[in-house]
Chains A and B, each alone.
Chain A
Amino acid sequence: MSEHRLRIDPAGTPRATVLIVPPLFEEANRTRRTLVLAMRALAAEGFAAVLPDLPGQNESLVPLEQVDLARWQDALVEVAADIDGPILVAAVRGGVLIDHRVKAAAWWRLAPVGGTSLLRTLMRARVSADREAGLTSSLESLQEEAKTKPLLVAGNRLSPEMVAQLGTSEAQVVEPLRSISLGADGIAGTPLWLRAEPGEDAAMAAAIAADISAWSKTCGIS
């Protein structure tokens, strides 16, 4: 089953296509609006920009508990295979854990995060919610539970495979890569992916698009 892909085209033939690999789980919702603003800015610069739904995320009909990081990596390879011309992968946060198998001309990563850290936050949300409900759970008891059956954490039902893979997953080496964080030496903006209430930041979106465009030139893509 094909997943929804949001594609924004420039006027005329694209210089290249920027494949956006979104953050994972709730962080994807918190950043989506700003990433789409960045895609519009990229289109104004002559790039096509594609933001695919990962199976089990956003509008996907696939139950989340049927997927894992390996399936997401496969899905991105399939999306890339349908794109004509050079591809520049732009991954944000946990997106960096699944972006390395795409056949791309270059990679750009914003605020990379390890799978352990993402999993820890999700499990803590469950522990905290359990405590409010008068139940006792711990990171250890949840880890144990997740070995044999899907684990519900912060509204996400994660398969044993997903939990196991997240627990050990780190960004893989890719080349050429520009890895950038927020702040004075990176993208000016705030970590919207942490935000309890979704926000948006047009200036940050413009900065993201400008940085990706400059990196594309540096790599000789366009």
Chain B
Amino acid sequence: MTEANTVDATLRALLADVLGLGEARAAALTEDSGLFGELPEFDSMAVATVLTEMEDRLGIVIDDDEVDGEIFETYGNLLAFSLRKVTD
């Protein structure tokens, strides 16, 4: 598995865990799938939980000022952000 695939799989599993999506819904997420504002489960507590779990599972550190509304807009944005952090 390439690093991009690993990050993608980790991220899907994480969203499934936090949002209770179930494997099928998590696997069906596309680049354009909306997250914050689209999924009713995705509230500010869920955003916080996702960030901390991303740090733990991807071995990265996320600063406040890197986080804006945009990275949680779509799954594609969140994946791109994660890949950037992992390869930094």
Q: Which residues of A contact B (CB under 8 A)?
A: 26, 117, 120-125, 127-129, 131-132, 138-140, 154, 190-191, 194-197, 199
Please report the C-alpha to C-alpha distance between residue A33 and residue B41 in the assembled complex, in whole angstroms: 19
Please report the C-alpha to C-alpha distance between residue A14 and residue B45 in the assembled complex, in whole angstroms: 40
> Does the CB pair A196–B51 fall under 8 Å?
no
Instruction: Count how many chain B residues have C-beta atoms less than 8 Å from C-beta atoms of the other chain.
Output: 21
Closest Cβ–Cβ distance, residue A87 to chain B (whole Å):
31
Given that A117-B56, A194-B53 are known contacts, is A199 also in contact with B48, CB under 8 Å in the complex? no
Instruction: Tell me if A's interface is mostly helix, strand, loop or mixed.
Output: helix
Please report the C-alpha to C-alpha distance between residue A117 and residue B62 in the assembled complex, in whole angstroms: 13
Q: Could you list 6 further interchain pairs (A-B, Cβ under 8 angstroms) beyond the known A125-B49, A154-B45, A196-B18?
A: A121-B49, A127-B48, A128-B44, A128-B48, A131-B69, A199-B20
A154 CB contacts on chain B under 8 angstroms: 44-45, 48
> Does the CB pair B49–A139 fall under 8 Å?
no
Smallest CB-CB separation from A133: which chain B residue? B44
Please report the C-alpha to C-alpha distance between residue A131 and residue B64 in the assembled complex, in whole angstroms: 11
A122 CB contacts on chain B under 8 angstroms: 48
> Does the CB pair A197–B20 fall under 8 Å?
yes
Provide the B38-54 mask, 1 if CB < 8 A to any CB of A, else 0. 00011111111101110
Given that A117-B52, A124-B51, A124-B52 are known contacts, is A129 also in contact with B44, CB under 8 Å in the complex? yes
